[in-house]
Protein backbone atom coordinates (compact mmCIF):
# COMPACT_ATOMS: atom_id res chain seq x y z
CA UNK A 1 0.00 0.00 0.00
CA UNK A 2 2.92 2.37 0.42
CA UNK A 3 3.33 2.62 -3.34
CA UNK A 4 -0.02 4.45 -3.54
CA UNK A 5 1.42 7.35 -1.58
CA UNK A 6 4.28 7.71 -4.04
CA UNK A 7 2.02 8.06 -7.10
CA UNK A 8 1.46 11.62 -8.26
CA UNK A 9 -2.24 11.47 -9.16
CA UNK A 10 -2.30 15.00 -10.57
CA UNK A 11 0.28 14.03 -13.21
CA UNK A 12 -1.67 10.85 -13.90
CA UNK A 13 -4.89 12.81 -14.46
CA UNK A 14 -3.23 15.55 -16.52
CA UNK A 15 -1.63 13.03 -18.87
CA UNK A 16 -4.55 10.63 -19.07
CA UNK A 17 -6.59 10.47 -22.25
CA UNK A 18 -9.45 8.89 -20.29
CA UNK A 19 -10.02 11.70 -17.79
CA UNK A 20 -13.30 12.73 -19.42
CA UNK A 21 -14.53 9.15 -19.44
CA UNK A 22 -13.64 8.72 -15.77
CA UNK A 23 -15.54 11.91 -14.87
CA UNK A 24 -18.50 10.73 -16.96
CA UNK A 25 -18.55 7.35 -15.19
CA UNK A 26 -18.27 8.87 -11.71
CA UNK A 27 -21.22 11.20 -12.28
CA UNK A 28 -23.18 8.53 -14.19
CA UNK A 29 -22.87 6.04 -11.34
CA UNK A 30 -23.67 8.73 -8.79
CA UNK A 31 -26.97 9.56 -10.51
CA UNK A 32 -27.96 6.02 -11.47
CA UNK A 33 -30.89 4.48 -9.61
CA UNK A 34 -29.76 3.06 -6.23
CA UNK A 35 -26.11 2.88 -7.31
CA UNK A 36 -25.50 6.40 -5.99
CA UNK A 37 -26.32 5.16 -2.50
CA UNK A 38 -23.34 2.82 -2.53
CA UNK A 39 -20.76 4.61 -4.66
CA UNK A 40 -18.66 7.36 -3.06
CA UNK A 41 -19.02 9.72 -6.00
CA UNK A 42 -19.35 12.89 -3.96
CA UNK A 43 -15.83 12.57 -2.60
CA UNK A 44 -14.46 11.99 -6.09
CA UNK A 45 -16.32 15.06 -7.33
CA UNK A 46 -14.83 17.16 -4.55
CA UNK A 47 -11.39 15.91 -5.57
CA UNK A 48 -12.12 16.76 -9.21
CA UNK A 49 -13.26 20.22 -8.13
CA UNK A 50 -10.00 20.79 -6.28
CA UNK A 51 -8.07 19.71 -9.37
CA UNK A 52 -10.01 22.29 -11.36
CA UNK A 53 -9.29 24.96 -8.75
CA UNK A 54 -5.56 24.24 -8.80
CA UNK A 55 -5.46 24.32 -12.60
CA UNK A 56 -4.73 20.64 -13.19
CA UNK A 57 -8.03 20.14 -15.06
CA UNK A 58 -9.82 22.47 -17.45
CA UNK A 59 -13.22 23.67 -16.31
CA UNK A 60 -15.32 23.42 -19.47
CA UNK A 61 -14.40 19.90 -20.62
CA UNK A 62 -14.88 18.67 -17.05
CA UNK A 63 -18.30 20.33 -16.85
CA UNK A 64 -19.24 18.83 -20.21
CA UNK A 65 -18.38 15.27 -19.13
CA UNK A 66 -20.06 15.72 -15.74
CA UNK A 67 -23.20 17.12 -17.37
CA UNK A 68 -23.30 14.30 -19.90
CA UNK A 69 -22.94 11.69 -17.15
CA UNK A 70 -25.69 13.28 -15.08
CA UNK A 71 -28.11 13.47 -18.01
CA UNK A 72 -27.50 9.87 -19.09
CA UNK A 73 -27.71 8.52 -15.52
CA UNK A 74 -30.91 10.41 -14.72
CA UNK A 75 -32.55 9.37 -17.99
CA UNK A 76 -31.72 5.71 -17.47
CA UNK A 77 -33.08 5.90 -13.93
CA UNK A 78 -36.25 7.58 -15.21
CA UNK A 79 -36.85 4.93 -17.86
CA UNK A 80 -36.21 2.13 -15.36
CA UNK A 81 -38.96 3.68 -13.24
CA UNK A 82 -41.31 4.00 -16.20
CA UNK A 83 -40.73 0.42 -17.30
CA UNK A 84 -40.81 -1.25 -13.86
CA UNK A 85 -43.28 0.98 -11.99
CA UNK A 86 -45.97 -1.73 -11.75
CA UNK A 87 -43.47 -4.30 -10.52
CA UNK A 88 -42.08 -1.83 -7.97
CA UNK A 89 -45.57 -1.05 -6.67
CA UNK A 90 -46.14 -4.73 -5.94
CA UNK A 91 -42.81 -5.25 -4.17
CA UNK A 92 -42.64 -5.95 -0.44
CA UNK A 93 -40.70 -2.76 0.25
CA UNK A 94 -43.40 -0.63 -1.36
CA UNK A 95 -46.28 -2.33 0.42
CA UNK A 96 -44.46 -2.10 3.76
CA UNK A 97 -43.97 1.69 3.58
CA UNK A 98 -46.89 2.56 1.33
CA UNK A 99 -49.09 4.12 3.99
CA UNK A 100 -46.30 5.92 5.81
CA UNK A 101 -44.45 7.76 3.06
CA UNK A 102 -45.63 6.91 -0.41
CA UNK A 103 -49.31 7.31 0.36
CA UNK A 104 -48.75 10.93 1.39
CA UNK A 105 -46.51 11.77 -1.57
CA UNK A 106 -48.42 10.12 -4.41
CA UNK A 107 -51.34 12.64 -4.54
CA UNK A 108 -48.83 15.45 -5.03
CA UNK A 109 -47.32 13.75 -8.06
CA UNK A 110 -50.61 12.83 -9.72
CA UNK A 111 -51.26 16.52 -10.39
CA UNK A 112 -48.51 16.51 -13.00
Distance in angstroms (rounded) separating the CA atoms of residues 66 and 62: 6
41-87 pLDDT tens trace: 788 888 889 889 988 888 999 999 999 999 999 999 899 888 887 78
Question: Is a pLDDT exceeding 60 seen at residue 5?
Answer: no
Q: What is the pTM of this model?
A: 0.71
Pair 75, 65: CB distance under 8 Å: no
22 or 91, greater pLDDT: 22
Domain ranges of the chain: 2-79
Query: Average of pLDDT values for 26-42?
Result: 82
Amino acid sequence: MDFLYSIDFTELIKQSTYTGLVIFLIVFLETLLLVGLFSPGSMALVAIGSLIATGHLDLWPTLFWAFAGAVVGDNISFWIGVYFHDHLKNSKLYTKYQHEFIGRAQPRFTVF
